[in-house]
Each structure stands twice: as C-alpha cells, then as structure tokens.
Amino acid sequence: MGLLQLLKSQFLCHLIICYVFLVSGLIINLLQLCTLPVWLVSKQLARRINIRLAYCISSQMVAILEWWSGTECTLYTDPKSYPLYGKENAIVVLNHAFEIDFLCGWTFCERFGVLGSSKVLAKKQLAYVPIIGWMWYFLEIVFCKRKWEEDRRTVNESLEKLRDYPENFWFLLYCEGTRFTPKKHQVSMQVAESKGLSKLKYHLLPRTKGFWVTVQSLRGTAAAVYDSTLNFRNNEMPTLLGLLNGKKYHADLYVRRIPLELIPEDEKECAEWLHKLYQEKDSFQEHYAKTGRFPGPIMSPPRRPWSLINWLFWSCLLLYPLGLLLTQLISSGSVFTIVASVAVCSAAADLTPQIFTGSSLDDWPD
C-alpha cells in the first residue's frame, strides 16, 4: 500500500471529510433558508441561487468519488446523442442495484453541467434527512409516498411546476422503486409471473405508474428519456465507505437517448413500453456479464476541476477555525474539556460507518 493510499484509509481523514461536509452542509442549508424571501420577489432568481448552493453540497460527494477515490466513470453512448447531453431537459431511467449508483449519476450530471439542478423521484422519508434532504426541498425535488392514490396528484403537480425551470435538468427515476436484492428479486418475479410478464434476471419488475405520470407531466418540458444502465467492472459492489477509504472503482454506464415523442401516451401502452425497455436493459447487463463491456462506442466526458475546487474551498474555510479551536483546547489544559472532546470524536467514529452505509437510509420505516 502506497503512502497516499495509507493516508486515505486513516480514520482522522474520514473525520475531517465528514466534519467539512456536515458543517458546510448546514451552512448551505441555512443560506437556502435565507433565499425564501427572494422567492417572493423573483422565483427564477431564487431557483438559480439554490442551484448553485445545492452544487456546493452535492459536488463534495462527487469530489470524493472523482478526486479522493479516483473512481473512473466510462460512458457508452451514441456519438450523435452525446452533444445533446446537458443541453436539454431529460428523464433518466437508471437501474438501482448499487449503494453508490446515485453518486455515479451525480458524477455524470457534474460532467455535463447539470449537477446543481438535477432532480429525482425520491421516497418522502429522504426529505427529512439533514443536509441532502433539506437541500432537496429548495431544489423542488419530487417526493412520493409510494401510495399511488396520493402520488398520482402530488407527483403530477410537482412536475408541472418544473415547466418554467430556468436551467436544464435531468430528472432521475428508479423505476424499480427500491434497490435490488436477491430476496426482492424473487418476490418481484413472482409478481411478474402472476401478471404473465416476462422475467428479468438483473432487474426488479419496473413500477410503471411513476414513469407514465412523469412522461405525461414533462411532455413539452423534457426532450428525451435517457435509458441508463450502470454496472461495475470485476463484479465490484462499491460502497460509500469504500470510496471514503480511497478505493478506486470502475463504473460503466450505457446511455440510450430516446426522444419523448416515441413513448406512448396511453397508460397501458406506456407500461408495456417500459416492460419492454427493462427486457432490453436486462439483455445489456447479460452482454456486460459475458463481455465485460456494454455495446456501442465509448464517449467518456472528462472530470472537471470544479468539484475539487469547491471541496478545497470549504475545507480551507472550515479547517482553519477547527485548528484554532483545537489549539485553544490543548493549551487550556482542562482535563474535563479534553475528555469531553475525545468522547464527541468517539461518538462521531461510531456514527461515520452508519452515515456511509446506504442501508441506514434504505431501512428507514415507510
């Protein structure tokens, strides 16, 4: 293990990264709160400010993936579609099997310049997660309760509001509705069987209602669906904790641009279309399992320096006062204060792995 790799695996480094993320995140949440009066004067200005503030939070996580862990993200896509990415609104359909799939999504958003404005159909519980959830509130993220009777109206209303959004955005939809596990897959395939639908090997049966309402609500706003299929080389199962430890992964993303006009308007036909899409996604994963690559040419966008610059900015801003505090603490010579500080650090040590395991967020009660 090299010296740099050893440093990246040190708990103190993780503690510092978490400290910068947490404190800067709370400061940014507070700044977002301060934009509330701006909404009354100019909604578009408030939106633009919030896009930039949100970038300051999400790009820190992207920096961990791109710069700290050095994870490589390869894009397989049609060269004719490539120039349109980041230049139009789009609905992204992504498989949901990895703890860091959302982060790989964010990384591509960053490389195509739509990170601050990127959106998702997220479960309502995530709205209450400090920093990320609170940030989403100001970004007009669409939340669902996974109760169709309620979601039908609320999801439609939230999406309609995005019609006059001032900057290009990608709207992410995990049609599978939950992260893939063998157990969920088994149940899901029983549902497929009972409905007379073809089985899938690498995906759960897609939930079609959210997709249909999204496509219908964003007609005239989004230009296309980006059908995106993600996998990792060498059967890796990457984790947030792995990234924090500086482990380098290799993500491969296959994206097909499908113009929105090609998607049926009728609910039943749209559902059939989505089931067919997931059959195709399954075949791409099969191709990947056999050959170690997706079909089509590679058009990888390079990483940009902005996520690193933002991260260094917040680190410099927040580590200086921390350094001063620690110096004062040690020079105070108070045993009680020193013991209390060590206790706080130990508590943080216990919490860090929990923060970094996606499962703690997945397991929140519905």
Ligand X SMILES: CC/C=C\C/C=C\C/C=C\C/C=C\C/C=C\C/C=C\CCC(=O)SCCNC(=O)CCNC(=O)[C@H](O)C(C)(C)COP(=O)(O)OP(=O)(O)OC[C@H]1O[C@@H](n2cnc3c(N)ncnc32)[C@H](O)[C@@H]1OP(=O)(O)O
Shortest Cβ 214–ligand X spacing (Å): 8
Shortest Cβ 339–ligand X spacing (Å): 39
- Element spanning 123, H or E: strand 119-123
Among the listed residues 95, 116, 115, the one whose alpha carbon sits nearest the alpha carbon of residue 253: 95
Among 76, 98, 108, 138, binds ligand X (CB under 6 A): 108
Name residues contacting ligand X, limited to 267-306 (CB under 6 A). Answer: none
Give the pair of three-digit tokens for residue 235.
Answer: 């059967």
Give SS3 for 91: strand
112 or 311, CB closer to ligand X? 112
CA distance 325 to 304: 34
Number of residues that bind ligand NKO (CB under 6 A): 18
174 or 202, CB closer to ligand X? 174
Among the listed residues 126, 122, 116, 119, the one whose alpha carbon sits nearest the alpha carbon of residue 143: 122
Query: According to the binding rule CB under 6 A, does residue 123 interact with ligand NKO?
Result: yes
Stretch that binds ligand X, among 32-40, 170-178, 237-245, 273-281 (CB under 6 A): 170-178
Query: According to the binding rule CB under 6 A, does residue 260 interact with ligand NKO?
Result: no
Q: Which does 120 bind (CB under 5 to 8 A by kind): ligand NKO, ligand X, none?
A: ligand X
Shortest Cβ 214–ligand NKO spacing (Å): 17
Q: Which does 135 bind (CB under 5 to 8 A by kind): ligand NKO, ligand X, none?
A: none
226 or 294, CB closer to ligand X? 226
CA distance 346 to 329: 17
CA angle 25–26–30, rounded 5-degree value: 115
Give SS3 for 70: coil
Give SS3 for 109: helix
Shortest Cβ 255–ligand X spacing (Å): 4
The upper half-sphere exposure of residue 333, i.e. CA atoms within 13 Å in the direction of its Cβ, equals: 0
Query: According to the binding rule CB under 6 A, does residue 203 interact with ligand X?
Result: no
Among 61, 97, 253, 318, binds ligand NKO (CB under 6 A): 61
Among the listed residues 147, 144, 100, the one whose alpha carbon sits nearest the alpha carbon of residue 120: 144
Query: According to the binding rule CB under 6 A, does residue 55 interact with ligand X?
Result: no
263 or 318, CB closer to ligand X? 263
Sorted by sequence, the CB contacts under 8 Å of residue 235 that are 6+ apart come out as none
CA distance 218 to 159: 7
Query: According to the binding rule CB under 6 A, does residue 151 interact with ligand X?
Result: yes
Among 92, 139, 159, 224, binds ligand X (CB under 6 A): 92
Give SS3 for 260: helix
Burial class (CB in 10 A: 0-12, 13-18, 19+), 195: exposed
Q: Which does 109 bind (CB under 5 to 8 A by kind): ligand NKO, ligand X, none?
A: ligand X
CA distance 347 to 277: 46
How, if at all, do strands 224-232 and 119-123 pair? unpaired
Query: According to the binding rule CB under 6 A, does residue 97 interact with ligand NKO?
Result: no
Which stretches of the chain bind ligand X, using CB under 6 A? 85, 92, 94, 102, 105-106, 108-109, 118, 120-123, 126, 144, 146-148, 151, 170, 172-175, 177, 187-188, 191, 204-205, 207, 209-211, 226, 228, 255
Which stretches of the chain bind ligand NKO, using CB under 6 A? 17-18, 21, 60-61, 64, 96, 102, 123, 126, 132, 178-179, 355-356, 358, 361-362
